Amino acid sequence: MNVSEARDSIEKLADEIRKHNYNYYVLSKPVISDYEFDRLLQRLIELEKAFPALLSPDSPTQHVGGEITKDFRQIVHKYPMLSLGNTYSEEDIRDFEERIHKTIGYEVEYVCELKFDGVAIGLTYRNGRLVQAVTRGDGIRGDDVTTNVKTIKSIPLRLQGRDYPEEFEIRGEIILPHASFEKMNEQRMEDGEDPFANPRNAASGTLKMQDSAEVARRNLDGFFYYLPGNDLPFRTHYESLQAARLWGFKISEYAVRCKTIGDIFDYLSTWDQARHELPYDIDGIVIKVNDIRQQELLGFTAKSPRWAIACKFKAEQVSTRLLSVDFQVGRTGAVTPVANLEPVQLAGTVVKRATLHNAGVISTLDVRIGDMVFVEKGGEIIPKIISVDLGERPAGATQLNFITHCPECGTLLIRTEGEAAWYCPNEQGCPPQIKGKLEHFISRKAMNIDSLGEGKIEILFDNGLVHNYADLYNLTYDQLIGLEKTYEPSGEKKEKKISFREKTVSNILNGIDASKGVSFDRVLYALGIRFVGETVAKKLAFHFITVEKLMEADYDRLVEVEEIGEKIAQSIRSWFSDPQHTALIGKLRAAGILFRIDESLVTRLSDRLAGLTFVVSGTFQNFSRDELKKTIETHGGKNIGSISSKTSYLLAGENMGPEKRKKAEKLGVPIISESDFVKILLEN
């Protein structure tokens, strides 16, 4: 295939994939299977790799991510990104309408929209292509997060149609749907990290991540609702939304035009209840004057437009009695206080339990057993207690103190400086920690022993058959056959029984045996080292290749690995310095578990760069950063994330951060260009 043929094929594939992206992520009406879509995308990736000069910045492959952004540039907004005035009452809405009428008369039409609970964003398009994405910031300037926003599949990198302005900005909200939020928090808790409090915080944190590939995996979404500027070809705001929909933007289907204040109140009343059925969070509605000429007449205050107002829903709260407090121990040893409540209806569900987070929260609230407490549910994993009704406090109620010893094994709790949680350090002897670690070890993204799900780990532990990961590989048919347990699943009244019959036992043993083929990076993740999630485990495995080299690595060598910071490095050193853990590695190795990366996965073309370490920073003319890093690895070199005296070269492109250059110059690390790198590769 020549360049001309490749260009035609790439353009046709890209157009087809854009249409399928729009159908799936914007219209929610896919017309092909995921398998067929993946084949199209893979074909496009292969063509772009074969003909890198034909890779376009608006190619659908750019949704995958891969670029690393260390510093987010500050960008001044062309039009200030003002906030909206907020109201919580019908009286305020009536006052808003009266002010409108005093200025422009009584012939006013409004548009009512959902107020998405996310992160405000402004996207700039030039000649139909996305060129910049900037957060709200302080309203005057925000952060350039273009690289990360490009990974959001519902956001068009190239617009549809032809009738869009040559250059314009569109504003909206980046959100994290409930399904993505729950999946992400499950993963964080598996990794021993604190879950995000709500989808908005998670979306905000995700937008500022350095690795755009990780942003892509989190499945952000976005809705758009405003085109600022004076030279746009629209008479009304509603008309501009319909045009933006045709260009490929995700515009809410729930925006409606309202003629009277009664229509507005009906809309508000509807969504105060219906919002619980949405797959994402909203925290109110927005009311806007529809006519753009009238908007111009009304103008702006220093902080907000006079032609729009946000009516926010009151956070849902209920009052109920605190009956008792349990202290739960997780697989990392963190102890969490959980309040048991008199059952109460809240946000469409019956609430019986609420989190008290940690010792600091208990102390701040001064909560006591028997208190009437106010419980709120605003996007959190479980409801939380926000305050106490002191007027209803029972006589003689005594102060609730955080426990000093583990409720499961009696070990004295400890707290690391700078952290809020108290921990049980008895990880080898505390039952919920042992069971939690075993459940993590067998999970799908770790060793994938799915035949051991459904509470079977608890049966094995209760019968004294497993205390650590290695014990799983010593299980026999005779030990397992006939085991059973009756239990009551959470939230259900009927009891269930698990019985280890012949087929069950056979499946378990086959699943355990199959897990011996799991790759080293997943084994490393399965070990449950604190802060070592899937991504970190993969980077460590491919950097060190074998567990021996990882175990020998000191702190300085660990922090050289991309994305490995002080906290992760210290956690890894601490884990491998424990003799019980090194003994466990030995037992797992004897059982046949893989503790080295398969050489076939680390393609080595030559050893020309063997012994050399590189820091790659900036943007390059002929290669992407990922291509340069892959070239380094395939010729025997190593990529590291930070500069030290041991760094061989700083491979510097345009827009490289000045701090890296200063550090390299201070340490005497050679700074080379893209062409210098090619010469080194050819000469060695």
- Fold type of domain 613-683: Rossmann fold (3.40.50)
Annotated catalytic residue 115: yes
Give the span between the Cα atoms of 189 and 187, in whole angstroms.
Answer: 5
User: In whole angstroms, how far apart are CA 450 and each of 188, 257, 437, 440, 657?
Assistant: 20, 52, 15, 11, 46
Give the span between the Cα atoms of 423 and 227, in whole angstroms.
Answer: 50
Which pLDDT score is estimated for 379? 47
- State which CATH number among 3.40.50.10860, 3.30.470.30, 3.30.1360.120, 3.30.70.260 fits the domain covering 74-312: 3.30.470.30
- Name, in order, each residue with C-beta under 8 angstroms of 176's C-beta and a sequence gap of 6 or more: 118, 184, 199, 200, 202, 203, 206, 218, 219, 220, 221, 280
Q: Single out the catalytic residue among 115, 377, 384, 660.
A: 115
Residues of the chain with CATH 2.40.50.140: 317-418
| 458-509 confidence digits (pLDDT tens) | 999 999 999 999 999 999 999 999 998 876 554 444 566 788 999 999 999 9
Q: In this structure, what are the phi and psi dihedrals at residue 566, rounded to the nearest 5 degrees?
A: -60, -45
Pick the closest to residue 396 from 371, 360, 362 (CA basis): 371
DSSP string, 351-401: EEEEE--SHHHHHHHT--TT-EEEEE-SS-SS-EEEEE-GGGPPTTPPPPP
- Any idea what the Cα angle at residue 157 is, between residues 14 and 251, rounded to 5°? 115
Q: Across-strand partners of 25?
A: none
Classify 189 as helix, strand or coil. helix
Residues of the chain with CATH 1.10.287.610: 3-64
Sign of the Cα pseudo-torsion (462, 464, 467, 469, in order): negative
DSSP string, 228-284: --S--S-SBHHHHHHHHHHHT----TT-EEESSHHHHHHHHHHHHHHGGGSSS-EEE
> Hey, how many other C-beta atoms are within 10 angstroms of the C-beta on 419?
11
Q: In this structure, what are the phi and psi dihedrals at residue 490, rounded to the nearest 5 degrees?
A: -55, 130
Let me know: does 224 contact 249? Beta carbons within 8 Å.
yes
> Hey, how many other C-beta atoms are within 10 angstroms of the C-beta on 476?
10
pLDDT above 90 coverage of the chain, percent: 48
**Sheet (strand 256-258) strand order:** 85-87, 308-312, 282-289, 110-116, 256-258
Residues of the chain with CATH 3.40.50.10190: 613-683
Residues of the chain with CATH 3.30.470.30: 74-312
> Hey, how many other C-beta atoms are within 10 angstroms of the C-beta on 111?
20
Let me know: does 386 contact 376? Beta carbons within 8 Å.
yes
Give the span between the Cα atoms of 177 and 182, in whole angstroms.
Answer: 9
Q: The domain 317-418 belongs to what CATH superfamily? A: Nucleic acid-binding proteins (2.40.50.140)
> Would residue 535 be called left, alpha or beta, if left means φ above 0 and alpha means ψ between -120 and 50 degrees?
alpha
Which pLDDT score is estimated for 338? 93
Q: The domain 3-64 belongs to what CATH superfamily? A: Helix hairpin bin (1.10.287.610)
What is the Cα 293 distance to its own chain's centre? 41
- The residue ranges of the chain whose pLDDT is under 70 are 25-26, 28, 34-35, 63-71, 190-194, 197, 302, 315, 347-349, 378-382, 454, 487-496, 599-605, 622, 684
Let me know: does 72 contact 121? Beta carbons within 8 Å.
no
Pick the closest to residue 54 from 10, 87, 98 (CA basis): 10
Pick the closest to residue 63 from 90, 44, 36, 89 (CA basis): 44
Residue 75: its H or E element: strand 74-76
| 297-353 confidence digits (pLDDT tens) | 888 876 789 999 999 887 678 899 999 999 999 888 999 999 999 998 876 568 889
145 exposure class (CB count in 10 Å sphere: 0-12, 13-18, 19+): buried
Give the span between the Cα atoms of 550 and 529, in whole angstroms.
Answer: 13
Classify 654 as helix, strand or coil. strand
Q: Tokens 């939304």: give the residue.
A: 241
Which pLDDT score is estimated for 111? 97
Give the span between the Cα atoms of 311 and 281, in whole angstroms.
Answer: 15
| Threshold 0.75, pTM exceeds | no
Residues of the chain with CATH 1.10.150.20: 431-517, 520-601
Residue 533, both tokens: 């999630």
Q: In this structure, what are the phi and psi dihedrals at residue 201, rounded to the nearest 5 degrees?
A: -60, -40
**CATH assignment of 431-517?**
1.10.150.20
- Its CATH architecture, for the domain 520-601, is Orthogonal Bundle (1.10)
DSSP string, 278-326: SSS-EEEEEEEE-BHHHHHHH-B-SSSBTTEEEEEPPPPEEEEEEEEEE
User: In whole angstroms, how far apart are CA 199 and each of 148, 182, 251, 440?
Assistant: 17, 9, 20, 24
